């Protein structure tokens, strides 16, 4: 029973499917940062909103570069 827990699980997803799922996760985190930035700007917290917009821009850049390096199309 203990030996079964220590074995490495078999690959259940292809590399493309894992990359697509990771790109989706990165995209949603960037979207959430932009939404949070918009909410902060809307509720009159411009300094925090601009800081959050900087974080959103950084996450968007990371998402874009992840997709571009792997040759993923933008639909």
Q: Where are the domains of the chain?
A: 21-75
CA dist 17 → 6, 21, 25, 50, 70 (Å): 25, 6, 12, 34, 12
Model confidence over 25-75: pLDDT tens digits? 999 999 999 999 999 888 888 888 899 999 999 999 999 999 999 888 776
- In the predicted model, is pLDDT for residue 22 greater than 90? yes
What pLDDT band is residue 11 in, cutting at 50, 70 and 90? low
Q: Supply the pTM of this predicted model.
A: 0.75
In whole angstroms, give the CA distance from residue 33 to residue 60.
Answer: 9
In whole angstroms, give the CA distance from residue 40 to residue 52.
Answer: 8
In whole angstroms, give the CA distance from residue 51 to residue 48.
Answer: 5
Is 26 in contact with 59 (CB distance < 8 Å)?
yes
- In the predicted model, is pLDDT for residue 12 greater than 80? no
């Amino acid at each position: 029973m203990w030996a079964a827990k220590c074995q490495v699980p078999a690959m259940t997803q292809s590399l493309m499917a894992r990359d697509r799922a990771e790109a989706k996760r990165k995209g949603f985190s960037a979207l959430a940062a932009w939404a949070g930035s918009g909410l902060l700007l809307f509720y009159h917290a411009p300094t925090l909103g601009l800081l959050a917009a900087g974080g959103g821009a950084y996450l968007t850049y990371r998402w874009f570069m992840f997709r571009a390096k792997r040759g993923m199309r933008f639909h």
